[in-house]
Structure formats: C-alpha cells, structure tokens
Amino acid sequence: MPHRAASASQSASSAAAREEALQQHLLQLEPTVSAALAARRPLLSFVPGLEAQFEADSAAQRLARFRLLGLIAIVIVNLFNLTDPIMLPDIAAEALRIRLGIVTPIMAITIAAMYIPRVGKWREWLLVLLILLAGGSLIHFFTRGHHPNALQYHSGVILIVMFGSIVIRQRFWFALGANLLLFLIYCAAIAGLAQMPPEVRFNSGMVLFSAVVISLIANYQMEYDSRRTYLQTLLQRIEAIKLQRSRDELELQAKSDPLTGLANRRYFDSRLNSEWLRAQRGQEPLSLIYLDVDFFKAYNDHYGHQAGDECLIRIAQAIQQSVQRAADLCARYGGEEFIVLLPQTSMGSALAVAEKLRASVEATRLRHQYSEVADQVTVSCGVACMIPESGTGSAQLIEAADRALYAAKSAGRNRISGFADTAISPVG
C-alpha cells in the first residue's frame, strides 16, 4: 500500500510537471499566435514551433476521423462490385479480383497502420496513397471496359476527388498534389481511348478539372477557417492560463509572508484550525514546533535590519528544506518566530523533526558574535503534540508549544524541548 501511494504521488507530480511545462510553452507562443492572427497571408501553415503545437493538439482527432472515414471509403469502393456486372460486364470478374485482392487489402492495411504512432505521423501521405489507389483503380476499370456504360464510371473519379478534399479534408497542399496527380492520370488514360470521341474527352477532362478546382477551393477555405479558429482558441487558452496564474499569484500573496516566502500567520491559523478538527474527528495526533531565533534583537542591532532580513530568509530556507511532507506547513509566526505544523505526527517524530530543524539552522553558519550561546545564529524549539478532544481548541496546542519554547530558552537556548502536561492531553 505505501508503495502504491508513493507511485501515485510520483505520477501526480510527473503529470503536474508536464502540465507546467506545457503551460510555459503556450505562454511563450503567445506573440507567435498573435502575429499569425494579424498576418494577412494565407494560414495554410504556421512557423515551426506553432505548427508542432497545432499538430499535437489536432493529431488525435484527425487520426480518429481518418480511421472512421477510411472504413467508410472501403465500403463505398466495394459497393461498385454491385454495379460492375451491369456497367462492366466484360471485365466484371477482373474488377472484382482487383478490388478484393488489391485495393481493399491495401486500404485496410493503410488505415490499420494509422494506429501505429510512428506510422500515424505520415497520415497525410497515406491519404494521398488511398486517393490515388481508389481513383486509379476506377480509371483502370472504365478505360479497360468496352461496354458503353463503362464511360459512366468517370463520374466516380469526381466523387473520389471530393471525398478526399471535402469529406476527409486533407491538408491543402496534400489535397492539391493528390488531385493534380489523379487528374493527370485521368487525362493520360483517356487520351487514346477510342470509344470516347475527342470532344467528349475534352469535356470529361474539363468536368474533372472543374471538380478539382471547386474541391480545392472548398478545402482551402476549410483549412484556413480551421487554422484561424485554432489560433483564436489557443489565444483564449493562453489568456485563461495567464488569468489563472494571476489568481494563483494573488492567492499565494494572501497566504505568504512577503519576506521569507513561508506561509503567513493568517493562513497558518486557518490551516491549524482545519487540521485540529480533522485530528479531532479521526482521533489522530497533531504536533507543533515553535521556533525562535536566539538573541535576534542583538543580531539586528549590530548587523542592521537588512542583514537581519537576510538572516530570516536563510533560516526560513533551512526550515523549509528540513520539512519534507506535503501535508506539513511552515510559517513565519512573528518577527523572528517560526512555526511548523505536523499533522498525524507523534511527539517522538515531532521531536526528531525539531532537532533536524535546529541542526539545519546551525549548519547555515551565519556569524553571530553577539549571541550568548554560540558564535553563529541558532534557534530554540518548543514541541507540543495532542490528540484533540471534544470541546478543546487549537489555541491550546500553540500555548503548549509556547511553554515548551520557554522551557528551551530557560534551559540555555539552542535546544529543543517537548511539552508534557497531562491536563491538556499530550501524546508521547
């Protein structure tokens, strides 16, 4: 169970780190997004960093769309097997073999390959392959068939062009390449088609060319609109991140001591009351460490207030680094007074943490030649622990820790002391 909890905590921390990195990246993109929205050039591609983010945000949705429409395309292509005996009676068997033995398997394999991450990034090229395969096979059938109805199949090429550009919505440049290649293949295939008079060939080519142009215009507009909408959405997302960070900053300022960065007294008192009630409900121990910098007034008087502030900052850092649990809370409680809240902690464990804090401050080796206990900055610590009973208040815990701190000072300072008074239910 502890291992599982640790793993969950690490996973949560990793997710938080990834989210923070993503937010930082998006904030850095803000000028680029604004510039792209203001630009008058066609929005068919972004600068590399923004294009990568666009792909990351849209890849999953596009892949899902392509997979679904790819399956629909397979069904539509094979529906022609029903009309081949009527439209292509002389090559119906050949058309069936090609569709079922070549076209359909290749389309199915291509769609399945999109589920593979390394292959999925080539999705646009794979779509070009599918368009050319479907259109090329249809062109092959109506140019091979000699029945008069065979020529009606050229309209199917128009459907394929529209399907790729408008329904699947290939990226514009890929749609342009696929459609032009398909048009050239079509023109080359009908150039020497005897059963199609020259004027019919010209008209058929013009019809397909018109379909290509119309489809590309529609594709271009959809691509432009989707990218512009993405930029607007991304900008809103960035603004939301900035707003949330501003709120977080204001909330942090309301909770924090401006000098040390630790929690301030107001926030500490609020947390103490909450933890007191929680411990009361669960009948769990709640511990408190009260710290006071030894002879700090003498330090301030002789070294100056700026040095005094720097001293408090160093002590706060030492305290924070010594308290590892997320549930614990370190706060600046007064001028040179600090306080540490330790939920679900026994007296023995709290005393160990207090000694670690005391030693950590001593290890900073801040010179204090005016101290009466050492030639460096030290702290005295009072420790109290209680299991809150009904009808009691958190002020009792602070009072107990304060008494313990007084005892530590009376005993010579630079030491810790635990409060033990059965009248207020200490926990050993």
Catalytic residues: 336
Q: 170: buried, middle or exposed (CB in 10 Å: 19+, 13-18, 0-12)?
A: buried
- Cβ–Cβ < 8 Å for 289, 383: yes
Q: What span, in angstroms and rounded, lies between the C-alpha atoms of 136 and 144?
A: 12
Q: What is the DSSP letter of 389?
A: P
- Cβ–Cβ < 8 Å for 319, 291: yes
Q: What span, in angstroms and rounded, lies between the C-alpha atoms of 345 and 236?
A: 45
Q: What span, in angstroms and rounded, lies between the C-alpha atoms of 152 and 413?
A: 101
Q: What span, in angstroms and rounded, lies between the C-alpha atoms of 159 and 145?
A: 20
Q: What is the DSSP letter of 41?
A: S
Crossing angle of helices 48-79 and 198-255, rounded to 10°: 130
Region of residue 12 (phi > 0: left; psi between -120 and 50: alpha; otherwise: beta)? alpha
Q: What are the backbone dihedrals phi and psi of residue 385, each rounded to the nearest 5 degrees, phi first? A: -140, 135
* N residues, the chain: 428
* Residue corresponding to tokens 């390959």: 113
- Cβ–Cβ < 8 Å for 71, 111: yes
Per the structure block, which two tokens stand in for 264? 């301030």
Per the structure block, which two tokens stand in for 181? 């290649």
Strands 416-418 and 379-386: parallel
Distances (CA, A) of 377 to 294, 311, 320, 382: 7, 8, 17, 17
**How is the chain split among helix, strand and coil, in percent rounded to 5?**
70, 10, 20
Q: What span, in angstroms and rounded, lies between the C-alpha atoms of 339 and 428?
A: 20
